[in-house]
Amino acid sequence: MTDTPWWKSAAIYQVYPRSFQDADGDGIGDLEGIRNRLGHLVELGVDALWISPIYPSPMADFGYDVADYCGVDPIFGTLADVDRLIAEAHARGLKLILDFVPNHSSDRHPWFVDSRSGRHAPKRDWYVWRDPGPGGGPPNNWVSNFGGPAWTYDEASGQYYHHAFLSEQPDLNWRNPEVRAAMIDALRFWLDRGVDGFRVDVLWHLIKDIDFRDNPPNPDYGPGMPDIARLLQVHSADQPEAIEVTRELRATLDAYPGDRVLIGELYLPFERLMAYYGPDLTGAQLPFNFHLILAPWNARGLARLIAEYERALPPGGWPNWVLGNHDQKRVASRLGRAQARVAAMLLLTLRGTPTLYYGDEIGLMDGVVPPEALRDPWALREPGVGGRDPCRTPMPWDDGPNAGFSAATPWLPLGDGATRDVAAEAADPRSMLALHRRLLALRRATPALALGAYETVAADGDLLAYQRRDGEARLLVVLNLGPRPATFEAGAPTRTLLSTHLDREGPEPAGALTLRADEGLVLAFAE
Ligand code: GLC
Ligand code: MG
């Protein structure tokens, strides 16, 4: 077990830097703020933090529009602050993962400024330029993920450039070897400074159809769905060559000591997701599995989903699970607070690396963000369908001004932070925070949970039961996904190690186990 790479048994914690902790009093979270709060992550019991982008950016998409891949935006701090954060994280036993945004840069990046300067500019081919379509409009029917055409016309040169997101986020041309080399240099810049890995933004988008064919219509499109859902993204993303690029990124990491990890953002069905592990696992170690976010929440459906995912994994491929991130409705808002505790138990007892989203450890709900406070460019472009501000509200730490997040008015309203905070949850032995700490501690102390095999035991009514096994050691997890009590026949005497209610431990009476509404149990088999 000693040669098991750290990222297999690790729990990862995502920090959205604007919203975690503001140290310099400008109402926006920063690197120094994160450093000041590392203690929270250590007490929580996670092993690594992933920070959403901190690079210089005009912030059209809050850092996902990068103007310099080897710098730090002054809003967040300086390079010296990154170095300090890496050093202190490492000193506290935490790994640090950066966000890498290779699909597109900012339109203010000097590369794009050059590219846009004319058809014969040295970096023209670093981005995706096409002549107008036959009728004089955009080259094809591709839609931006934030709505509207995925092409913007450049008057001066008479061509369109492609952007899978905002027009301020032009797509880089990953078929151009100079682009690849420049981006790999950027990875090395951060690897040299000691970062432990990268979460790669929209990894499946990097390569587009070489002939730029039209995407077919989506037969399931209906009113109320975002514009991007009108078409199936058959030709604009997930091309076979994206796997080659993934392998090149991975090889770059592998040239460094210490099991650096490559995590891919991939919203794909299982069979396509698996391709990103690469042949012989030479691709991403953790192609993000978002299916728990997207799946309906019921026992049979979840059991099937887990089994299908486990079955689809390539030999030796390590699983991973996610309940939320900065683009999704928060888990407590999707499922309700009581069921969010069961979801946390599921996330932290499944086989595979879990990633937690900041705030979910205290059961934070989506914030109410009034229309005049909306900041997300998607929300502003497609009102009603695309708003991501509610899941990005500031982390509430205590009952101080602005919940301890900032001395100044926060960049987004506090939302749910008015009613719960880390300090109050830390003082309550049965809080959501206490549950997360217990689950993470149990996971760390129990090889069967951290690395053991997974086996579905039952999925009946609202109950989902499974075992985790490491040699002789076996643990049973029974989750009640419903609002009514339910009974489960364990078939052998059991002992509760942990209940989501945090008020139940020790030997269970003989006979069927009774679970209360929204209760989950981790059990050992009594000898
Ligand atoms: C990813 C990010 C999202 C961003 C988009 C464009 O999906 O998670 O926040 O808007 O890529 O970079
Ligand atoms: Mg600040």
Q: What is the DSSP string of 128-190?
A: -EEPPPTTSS-SS--B-TTSSBSEEEETTTTEEEE-SS-TTSPBB-TTSHHHHHHHHHHHHHH
pLDDT at position 81 is 98
Ligand 1 pocket test, pick from 64, 106, 146, 198 with the greatest ligand atom count within 8 Å of Cβ, gives 64
CATH code, 149: 3.90.400.10
The 10s digit of each residue's pLDDT in 192-210 is 999 999 999 999 999 999 9
The residue nearest atom 4 of ligand 1, judged by CA position, is: 64
The minimum-distance atom of ligand 1 relative to the CA of 64 is 12
Residue with tokens 């009093």: 25
pLDDT at position 100 is 98
The residue nearest atom 12 of ligand 1, judged by CA position, is: 64
pLDDT above 80 (res 481): yes
Region 91-106: mean pLDDT is: 98
Give the residues across from 507 on adjacent strands.
Answer: 495
pLDDT at position 384 is 81
CA 330 to chain centre: 12
User: 380 and 487 share a domain?
Assistant: no
Last residue of a domain, one of 380, 411, 441: 441
Ligand 1 pocket test, pick from 162, 201, 290 with the greatest ligand atom count within 8 Å of Cβ, gives 201
The letter for the amino acid at 518 is D
Last residue of a domain, one of 388, 417, 441: 441
Nearest to 521 by CA among 489, 478, 464, 473: 478
* Ligand in closest contact with the CA of 168: 1
- The Å distance, Cα 198 to ligand 1 centre, comes to 14
The letter for the amino acid at 10 is A
Q: pTM for the complete prediction?
A: 0.98
Region 95-116: mean pLDDT is: 98
Nearest to 1 by CA among 346, 473, 522, 495: 473
On whether residue 168 sits in a domain, the answer given is no
The residue nearest atom 2 of ligand 1, judged by CA position, is: 201
On whether residue 297 sits in a domain, the answer given is yes
Q: Tell me how many helices (H) and strands (E) the chain has.
A: 16, 19
* Ligand in closest contact with the CA of 22: 2
pLDDT above 80 (res 527): no
Burial of 158 (0-12, 13-18, 19+ CB in 10 A): exposed
- The Å distance, Cα 204 to ligand 1 centre, comes to 12
User: 186 and 298 share a domain?
Assistant: yes
* Ligand in closest contact with the CA of 144: 1
* Ligand in closest contact with the CA of 410: 2
User: 477 and 385 share a domain?
Assistant: no
Nearest to 139 by CA among 126, 152, 127: 152
* Ligand in closest contact with the CA of 76: 2
CA torsion angle 293 453 355 363 (round to 10): 70
The minimum-distance atom of ligand 1 relative to the CA of 103 is 12
**Percent of the chain residues past pLDDT 90, beyond the cut:** 97
The residue nearest atom 3 of ligand 1, judged by CA position, is: 327
On whether residue 376 sits in a domain, the answer given is yes
On whether residue 169 sits in a domain, the answer given is no
Ligand 1 pocket test, pick from 14, 61, 381 with the greatest ligand atom count within 8 Å of Cβ, gives 61
CB contact burial 431-458 (16+ within 10 A = b; e otherwise) = bbbbbbbbbbebbbebbbbbbbebeebe
Residues whose CB is less than 8 angstroms from the CB of residue 119 and which lie 6 or more positions away in sequence, other chains included: 129, 157, 159
User: 315 and 372 share a domain?
Assistant: yes
Ligand 1 pocket test, pick from 54, 69, 105, 165 with the greatest ligand atom count within 8 Å of Cβ, gives 165
Active site residues: 201, 265
User: 58 and 128 share a domain?
Assistant: no
pLDDT band at 415 (very low <50, low <70, confident <90, very high): confident
The minimum-distance atom of ligand 1 relative to the CA of 101 is 12
The letter for the amino acid at 418 is A
User: 345 and 401 share a domain?
Assistant: yes
On whether residue 127 sits in a domain, the answer given is yes
The conformational region for residue 519 under phi > 0 = left, psi -120 to 50 = alpha, else beta, is: beta
User: 285 and 389 share a domain?
Assistant: yes
User: 156 and 183 share a domain?
Assistant: no
User: 55 and 196 share a domain?
Assistant: yes
User: 134 and 234 share a domain?
Assistant: no
- The Å distance, Cα 72 to ligand 1 centre, comes to 18
Classified as helix, coil or strand, 244 is helix
The residue nearest atom 5 of ligand 1, judged by CA position, is: 64
The residue nearest atom 6 of ligand 1, judged by CA position, is: 64
- The Å distance, Cα 26 to ligand 2 centre, comes to 5
- The Å distance, Cα 306 to ligand 2 centre, comes to 40
- The Å distance, Cα 25 to ligand 2 centre, comes to 5
Lowest mean pLDDT among 240-244, 325-329, 367-371, 515-519: 367-371
pLDDT band at 69 (very low <50, low <70, confident <90, very high): very high
Last residue of a domain, one of 417, 441, 465: 441
The minimum-distance atom of ligand 1 relative to the CA of 65 is 12
The minimum-distance atom of ligand 1 relative to the CA of 388 is 9
pLDDT at position 526 is 79
CB contact burial 64-83 (16+ within 10 A = b; e otherwise) = bbbbbbebbbebbbeeebbe
The 10s digit of each residue's pLDDT in 209-255 is 999 999 999 999 999 999 999 999 999 999 999 999 999 999 999 99
Quote the CA–CA distance of 331 and 206 in Å, as a whole number: 29
Domain residues for 129? 110-162
User: 197 and 223 share a domain?
Assistant: yes
Contact call for residues 30 and 17 (beta carbons, < 8 A):
yes
CATH code, 458: 2.60.40.1180
Residues whose CB is less than 8 angstroms from the CB of residue 165 and which lie 6 or more positions away in sequence, other chains included: 61, 64, 104, 144, 145, 146
pLDDT band at 2 (very low <50, low <70, confident <90, very high): low
Residue with tokens 């059990």: 523
Contact call for residues 237 and 208 (beta carbons, < 8 A):
yes
On whether residue 36 sits in a domain, the answer given is yes
The residue nearest atom 7 of ligand 1, judged by CA position, is: 202
In three state form, how does the secondary structure of 40-97 look? HHHHHCCCEEEECCCCCCCCCCCCCCCCCCCCCCCCCCCHHHHHHHHHHHHHCCCEEE
User: 89 and 192 share a domain?
Assistant: yes
Residue with tokens 């042949």: 279
H-run or E-run covering 520: strand 520-525
On whether residue 353 sits in a domain, the answer given is yes
Quote the CA–CA distance of 17 and 485 in Å, as a whole number: 40
Quote the CA–CA distance of 469 and 198 in Å, as a whole number: 30
Q: Which residues line ligand 1 (CB under 6 A)?
A: 61, 64, 101, 165, 201-202, 265, 326-327
CATH code, 36: 3.20.20.80
Tokens of 53: 């982008």
The minimum-distance atom of ligand 1 relative to the CA of 146 is 10
Going by the DSSP 8-state scheme, the letter that residue 296 receives in this structure is -
- The Å distance, Cα 61 to ligand 1 centre, comes to 8
Average pLDDT, the chain: 97
The residue nearest atom 9 of ligand 1, judged by CA position, is: 327
Going by the DSSP 8-state scheme, the letter that residue 274 receives in this structure is G
Burial of 243 (0-12, 13-18, 19+ CB in 10 A): buried
pLDDT above 70 (res 86): yes
Tokens of 258: 């210490």
Region 48-56: mean pLDDT is: 99
- The Å distance, Cα 106 to ligand 2 centre, comes to 22
The minimum-distance atom of ligand 1 relative to the CA of 378 is 10
Ligand 1 pocket test, pick from 327, 329, 392 with the greatest ligand atom count within 8 Å of Cβ, gives 327
Residues whose CB is less than 8 angstroms from the CB of residue 70 and which lie 6 or more positions away in sequence, other chains included: 55, 186, 189, 190
Residue 487: what are its φ and ψ, rounded to 5°? -115, 150
- The Å distance, Cα 482 to ligand 1 centre, comes to 33
On whether residue 167 sits in a domain, the answer given is no
pLDDT above 60 (res 1): no
Report the domain count for the chain.
3
CA 318 to chain centre: 17
